Amino acid sequence: MKPNFEGKSPTPDGPFVLDAFDRKILAALSENGRISTLELAEKVGLSPTPCSRRVKRLEETGVIQGYTAKISPAAFGLNICVMVSVRLAKQSPDAVREFLDAIEARPEITECLLVTGNIDYLLKVWVADIDALRHFIRDVLQSVPAVAETSTMVILNMTEAGSISTRIEQRA
Amino acid sequence: MKPNFEGKSPTPDGPFVLDAFDRKILAALSENGRISTLELAEKVGLSPTPCSRRVKRLEETGVIQGYTAKISPAAFGLNICVMVSVRLAKQSPDAVREFLDAIEARPEITECLLVTGNIDYLLKVWVADIDALRHFIRDVLQSVPAVAETSTMVILNMTEAGSISTRIEQRA
DNA sequence: GTTGAAACTTATTAAAC
DNA sequence: GTTTAATAAGTTTCAAC
C-alpha cells in the first residue's frame, strides 16, 4: 500500500513528503526499535501525544514495515559470509522454478537477489566454515541442473550503513 | 564479546549452543522485535520469568545486537535498488582510503562489502530514479581516481529471507 | 501543535514451590 | 524450570488549551 499523508504529497504519485519530525522518528526507531514513546518524543523534539500519533501513522501507511531484533550470525556459529553469483543455463520459467525450489529451504541463504547483467542471481550466504561453504556450493547450488555457473566472493568486511532513514537524516 | 553460556558450550571455542527455547525466542524476536514478554513467553512455551531472563541474557551476551524498525525505502521515494561492483586501480592503503572517503557520506549506500575475487567492493545502493543512478555512478563513483571500473546490477527482485534465526528455527 | 490526568497494559522483581 | 503477587514503568485515550 502506498503511504498517503493527507495533503502532504506535493505532486500526485510523487514521493511522499516526510517532514523533519517524521525523518527524526524513523532515524531514532532505526537505531533503537524499542525506544519508549516518551524517550522518542524527547529525542525528536515533540510531545508524546503527536509523536505517538506519527509513529502509528507511519506504521499504518507502511513506511514502518515492522520491527525486528538484530541477531548476530556468529552466535549461531556462522562465521563466514559470502556472496555467490549464479548464472542459469537458461531463464525459462521452468529453469527459474527449479533453481528457486532448490534454494528456497536453505537456511544459510539470507538474501536472494534477481539482478540484471551477466549473472542472474546474487545470494548472500552464511556458513560456519569452509567445509560448509564447499558443501553448499557443490552439493546445493551446482547440483541443480538449471545452474550453469557460480562464482563465490568471500566477504572480508561488511559495513552495514544503518538504514536509509538514518542516513537521510544525517544528510538533512 | 563472545557469548558465554555457563557450561553450555560443548567444546572450547566451539559454536555456542543455543537450545530450542533460545532459538524460538530469537525467531520470534526477528519476526516481531516489539512482541511483549507475555506473548513471547506463550509463543515459545515458557513462563514469562525465565523467558524474560533468557532474552536479557541473549542481549547481554551480544546474540541479540539490538532492535530496529524496518523502514520502506519507497517511502523515501527510493524506488530502485542496485548492486554496484567496484574494482580499484590498486589496493594500496591510500587508494582504499580515497575510495572509502568518497563513499562514506553517501546516504544512498546502505551496504558496503569488501570482497575477494575479481572485484574489490560490492555496494548496495538505493536511488529514486535512473537520473539519480547515473549521477551516483558517474559523479560519485567514477570520479574517484582510485576507482578503476564499476559494474551495475539492477535488482529486479529482492527476497530477504528473514533472519538467520528464523531460518535456523524453521529447519529445526 | 501542547499539557496533564486517568485508565489500562506491560515489565520487573521477589518469594515460594 | 513454574506460579503468584506486588511494585514500577510505559502506553493510550481523553479533555482542555
Q: Please say if the pLDDT value at position B47 is more than 90.
A: yes
Does B2 score more than 50 pLDDT? no
As a whole-number percent, the residues of chain B with pLDDT over 70 amount to 89
pLDDT of residue A162: 67
Beta bridge partners, B60, equal none
Q: Which residues of chain A have pLDDT under 50?
A: 1-15
B15-24, B125-134, B139-148: least confident range: B15-24
Is the distance between the Cβ of B38 and the closest atom of strand C smaller than 7 Å? Answer: yes
Q: What angle do CA B82, B140, B80 make, to 5 degrees?
A: 20
Residue numbers in A 84-143, CB below 7 Å of strand C: none
Q: Which amino acid is at A110?
A: T
Instruction: Say how far A118 CA is from C6 C1', in Å.
Output: 64
What does the block give as the cell for B107?
Answer: 546516504
> Is B162 exposed, middle or buried (CB count within 10 Å of its CB: 0-12, 13-18, 19+)?
middle
Chain mean pLDDT for chain B: 88
Question: Contact at 8 Å (CB) between A119 and B153?
Answer: yes
Q: Tell me if A152 and B117 make a contact (CB, 8 A cut-off).
A: yes
Rounded-to-integer distance, Cα B68 and Cα B15, Å: 26
User: Is any atom of strand D within 7 angstroms of residue B148's beta carbon?
Assistant: no
Determine the Cα–Cα distance for residues B159 and A96; give it in Å rounded to an integer: 14
Cα–Cα nearest to B157, from A91, A59, A62:
A91
**Burial of B93 per CB tally in 10 Å (0-12, 13-18, 19+):** exposed
Proximity of residue B54 CB to strand D below 7 A = yes
Model pTM greater than 0.85? yes
Contacts of B65 in chain A (CB under 8 A): 70-72
Question: Across the interface, do B156 and A78 touch by the CB < 8 Å criterion?
Answer: no
Whether the CB-CB separation of A8 and A16 falls below 8 Å is answered with: yes
Which is higher by pLDDT, B146 or B7?
B146
The confidence score (pLDDT) of residue A168 equals 78
Q: Do A75 and B62 touch (CB under 8 A)?
A: yes
Cell digits for B104? 562514506
pLDDT, tens digit, 9 for 90 and up, residues A30-47: 999 999 999 999 999 999
Can you give chain B as a three-state secondary structure string? CCCCCCCCCCCCCCCCCCCHHHHHHHHHHHHCCCCCHHHHHHHHCCCHHHHHHHHHHHHHCCCEEEEEEEECHHHHCCCEEEEEEEEECCCCHHHHHHHHHHHHCCCCEEEEEEECCCCCEEEEEEECCHHHHHHHHHHHHCCCCCEEEEEEEEEEEEEECCCHHHHHHHHC
Closest residue by Cα to residue A28 from A38, A18, A45, A43: A43
